[in-house]
A and B are shown apart, each in its own frame.
Chain A
Amino acid sequence: NAGVMQNPRHLVRRRGQEARLRCSPMKGHSHVYWYRQLPEEGLKFMVYLQKENIIDESGMPKERFSAEFPKEGPSILRIQQVVRGDSAAYFCASSPPELGQIAGNTIYFGEGSWLTVV
């Protein structure tokens, strides 16, 4: 999982500020997933993106959260007007473009970005 790069690793924001989390997938991977992990909970799916396309954002809160994966550059998870409840670990994962197989297709997680809202 060392190949998926996330930054910043730790981010502190005051209530009402914006948080931007960046994710560079592993080389050759064109699919990116964002997951959120609240304290003492499992990971919750947020959004799945391919280059320039949001494929599934069913786990994204309806307001203040957005994600993009431009043609060039990293994927960005943006949280506007952060609140204390946004404090969590945000994990990015990537997978190769060869999808659709039950066997052998796994995703690779980055080290995570820990957001603290004060």
Chain B
Amino acid sequence: QKEVEQNSGPLSVPEGAIASLNCTYSDRGSQSFFWYRQYSGKSPELIMSIYSNGDKEDGRFTAQLNKASQYVSLLIRDSQPSDSATYLCAAVPLVFSGGYNKLIFGAGTRLAVHP
């Protein structure tokens, strides 16, 4: 079982719609979760971090965490063509939470926002 799993997509949504990206993780003790956006040929760019159950909003982005279900999601409201990219979910397993940021990444979900 992969430690962090994402649907590879592509997820195609029309401009202006809500894009919903999902991620599950296997280490129940994981405490820190991150969403990165990566354009083709570029480095990952941090969008959101979330550490507590519930929702965290930042502009058009909302991260949701449900530790009981071991589930993290990212919602993008009012999707724009410029949001088209690969979105990487990452978790820091419990054993590293008190030490250093060994990020375990999912394979990423490709999002395509069409006009």
Interfacial residues, chain A to chain B (CB-CB below 8 A) = 1, 31, 33, 35, 40-45, 48, 55-56, 91, 95, 99-100, 102-112, 114
A95 contacts B101, C-beta separation under 8 Å? yes
B residues at A contact (CB < 8 Å): 4, 6, 31-32, 34, 41-46, 49, 51, 88, 90, 97-108
Measured between C-beta atoms, what is the minimum distance from A16 to chain B in Å?
A: 27
Instruction: Please determine whether B100 and A1 come into contact, CB atoms closer than 8 angstroms.
Output: no
Q: How far is the CA of A31 from the CA of B101 in the complex (A)?
A: 10
B43 contacts A111, C-beta separation under 8 Å = yes
Task: Report yes or no: A99 in contact with B46, Cβ–Cβ below 8 A.
Answer: no
Q: Known: A42-B88, A103-B51, A106-B46. Is A31-B100 also a contact (CB below 8 A)?
A: yes
Excluding A1-B45, A109-B45, A114-B41, 8 further A-B contacts by CB distance (< 8 Å) are A33-B102, A41-B107, A42-B105, A44-B105, A95-B100, A105-B32, A109-B43, A109-B44
